[in-house]
Amino acid sequence: MLIQELGSEIRKARLTRGLTQAQAAKAAGVSRTTLNQLENGVFPDLGVRKVQAILNQLGLTLVVQPAAEPAGPDFIRMACAAASVSFKTELTRDALVHALLSAKVPPPIRPHIRTLLDEAAPSLLKGLFKDVSKWAKPGGLERNLAKIARDVGSSRPIESWLKAG
């Protein structure tokens, strides 16, 4: 399970219970900022005790089970592979997803992201966008991608594949 999936489920449970982030965070003994970052899938490092406290307050449990076979292509994995082909270091799933959701690209992965945006097949980029957009607020990922493209100096207009079919 990706941190973004966990955060999405926590947000749903909190909203179902009619709690604000501040109320849920206080009950779990964590800061509202921590809960916000977790719900948005951009928390850099979160211990299992904090996660468990939040889950307990929302009536959720964490279950570890064998991973199911993906129903379709894993666009995040494919994007990481495509972005890493020409580099010594590999772009990780977590680094890619975090960059897309936060619009912050750390210097060590800027070349990977630029290569991905400039050279990957539009169908791969569309699939990546679709997979990651389920963890983003409506319109947020589009804004983040435009900012990232500018920041890394991408030569391909994002609109050329983002808006197309």
Residue 41: inside a domain, yes or no? yes
CB distance 101 to 141 below 8 Å: yes
Examine the domain organization and report whether 97 and 153 are in the same domain. yes
What confidence score (pLDDT) does residue 69 get?
64
What is this structure's pTM? 0.66
Interatomic CA distance for residues 81 and 93, integer angstroms: 10
Residue range of the domain that includes 9: 3-57
CB distance 41 to 2 below 8 Å: yes
Residue 91: inside a domain, yes or no? yes
Total domains present in the chain: 2
What confidence score (pLDDT) does residue 165 get?
45
> Tens place of pLDDT for every residue, the chain, 165 residues?
667 788 888 888 999 999 999 999 999 888 999 888 888 877 767 777 888 888 888 898 887 776 666 678 899 999 999 999 889 999 999 899 999 999 999 999 999 999 999 999 999 999 999 999 888 888 889 999 999 999 999 998 887 777 654
| Axis-axis angle for helices 110-119, 93-102 (nearest 10) | 80
Phi, psi values for residue 58, rounded to 5°: -105, 5
CB distance 148 to 115 below 8 Å: no
Examine the domain organization and report whether 31 and 101 are in the same domain. no
Cα 44 to chain centroid, rounded: 11
What confidence score (pLDDT) does residue 96 get?
95
Interatomic CA distance for residues 165 and 162, integer angstroms: 8
Examine the domain organization and report whether 87 and 146 are in the same domain. yes
Residue 28: inside a domain, yes or no? yes
What confidence score (pLDDT) does residue 63 get?
78
| CATH code, domain carrying 25 | 1.10.260.40
Phi, psi values for residue 73, rounded to 5°: -60, 145
What confidence score (pLDDT) does residue 159 get?
79
Q: Which two tokens stand for residue 155?
A: 């030569």
Examine the domain organization and report whether 45 and 82 are in the same domain. no
